[in-house]
């Protein structure tokens, strides 16, 4: 049995675990505070308590800079770690994949269990990240090294496998967008939160009548479980720089405007900079104004779709599964 810790924030970590679990021969137990998504490939979904601090106070959450989140006197954190320890003792997993938590990676490794850590983009050269990456038996970078090769990860090349960007839509048929009617610009938000709103999209629509704008996941828009038909029917996609959003647009091979959102450790900013440097997509530092949306779309159309292949999405989940299986062997 392979254990897999899935962070509760957003849907991306859960989607990634599902894609890779489908390529593994060994069954997977997911440990997470979030509910199980419908159809997830895990054999077992083990719910963990939330590790939030009581009230609004988090006493010394970094333990003096050693970790990221271990506040004192937090019952949820105590219960979470106790549940993980009990599960490890009962099931004796062959390894645990951690996506993502420095504390869980170190805790499981201290119990003598091999650990595979999913790397995250951004500035991860702090003390806590370094401890988790150095303790890991293997690191999986879910992006292409040719596009993004941060020095803190290159220094750990001996234990790192760059597998390419992982999308849940890999392998699905990709229809050609219809040329009838006004072409569609899809504005793709995310479960992790983003600043674009339906009012923003309405103002873009009023400013650029060449296209029909459609919002999926923007603030105030209904959540769409299957965005594949939406992506593949789009002339252009406007989205944030989260790993899963980028991977999904890459598999759909649509021109894109990428707007990085504020995230810890400059995660999305570094991803967007790499895409801009390689001419993959049109990158903007903030959501376009009505006056600038047409230029952003034109830049995306001018770049086209040919550089999305550099993200190496084909076979990415399989390569990740092979790296995990190599540790489990």
pLDDT at 190: 67
Rg (CA), the chain: 20
- What pTM, to 2 d.p., does this model score? 0.94
| Residue 274 Rama label (left phi>0; alpha psi -120 to 50; beta) | alpha
26-40, 56-70, 289-303, range with the lowest pLDDT = 56-70
Tell me the per-residue pLDDT of 98-136, one tens digit each, with 9 for 90 and over: 999 999 999 999 999 999 999 999 999 999 999 999 999
Tell me the per-residue pLDDT of 54-108, one tens digit each, with 9 for 90 and over: 776 789 999 999 999 999 999 999 999 999 999 999 999 999 999 999 999 999 9
Task: Give residue 218's pLDDT band: very low, low, confident or very high (50, 70, 90).
Answer: confident
Instruction: Name the β-bridge partners of 97.
Output: 4, 116
SS3 of 47-82: the string is ECCCCCCCCCCCCCCCCCCCCCCCCCCCHHHHHHHH
Strand ranges for the chain from DSSP E: 2-6, 28-32, 44-47, 95-99, 115-118, 138-141, 160-162, 184-188, 212-216, 236-239, 256-258, 282-283
Q: Which helix (H) or strand (E) holds 115?
A: strand 115-118
For 13, residues 6+ apart whose C-beta sits below 8 A from its C-beta are: 6, 7, 99, 100, 118
Phi and psi at 2, nearest 5°, equal -100, 130
C-alpha to C-alpha distance for 153 and 147, rounded to whole angstroms: 13
Fold classified for 184-310: Rossmann fold (3.40.50)
pLDDT at 219: 78
C-alpha to C-alpha distance for 193 and 319, rounded to whole angstroms: 29
- Is residue 137 classed as helix, strand or coil in its secondary structure? coil
Please determine, for residue 191, whether its predicted confidence score (pLDDT) is greater than 60: no
pLDDT at 70: 95
The architecture that CATH gives domain 2-166+314-328 is 3-Layer(aba) Sandwich (3.40)
Mean pLDDT of the chain: 94
pLDDT at 56: 65
CB 98 within 8 A of CB 5: yes
Show me where the domains of the chain are located. 2-166+314-328, 184-310
């Amino acid at each position: 049995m392979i254990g897999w810790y899935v962070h509760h924030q957003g849907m991306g970590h859960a989607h990634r675990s599902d894609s890779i679990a489908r390529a593994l021969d060994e069954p997977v137990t997911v440990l997470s505070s979030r509910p199980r998504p419908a159809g997830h490939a895990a054999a077992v979904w083990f719910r963990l308590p939330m590790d939030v601090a009581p009230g609004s106070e988090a006493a010394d959450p970094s333990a003096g800079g050693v970790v990221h989140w271990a506040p004192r006197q937090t019952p949820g954190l105590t219960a979470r770690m106790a549940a993980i320890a009990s599960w490890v003792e009962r099931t004796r997993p062959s390894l645990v994949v951690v996506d993502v938590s420095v504390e869980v990676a170190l805790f499981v490794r201290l119990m003598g269990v091999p650990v595979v850590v999913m790397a995250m983009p951004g500035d991860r050269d702090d003390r806590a990240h370094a401890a988790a990456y150095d303790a890991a038996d293997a690191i999986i970078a879910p992006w292409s090294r040719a596009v993004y090769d941060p020095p803190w990860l290159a220094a750990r090349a001996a234990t790192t496998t760059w597998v390419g960007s992982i999308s849940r839509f890999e392998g699905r048929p990709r229809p050609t967008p219809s040329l009838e009617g006004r072409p569609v610009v899809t504005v793709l938000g995310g479960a992790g939160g983003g600043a674009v709103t339906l009012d923003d999209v309405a103002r873009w629509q009023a400013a650029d009548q060449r296209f029909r704008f459609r919002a999926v996941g923007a603030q105030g828009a209904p959540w769409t479980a299957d965005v594949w038909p939406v992506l593949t029917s789009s002339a252009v996609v406007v989205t944030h720089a989260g790993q899963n959003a980028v991977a999904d647009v890459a598999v759909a091979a649509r021109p894109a405007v990428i707007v990085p959102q504020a995230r810890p450790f400059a995660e999305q900013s570094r991803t967007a900079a790499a895409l801009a440097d390689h001419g993959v997509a049109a990158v903007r530092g903030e959501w376009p104004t009505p006056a600038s949306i047409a230029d952003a779309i034109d830049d995306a159309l001018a770049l086209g779709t040919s550089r999305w292949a550099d993200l190496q999405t084909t076979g990415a989940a399989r390569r990740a599964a092979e790296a995990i299986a190599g540790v489990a062997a």
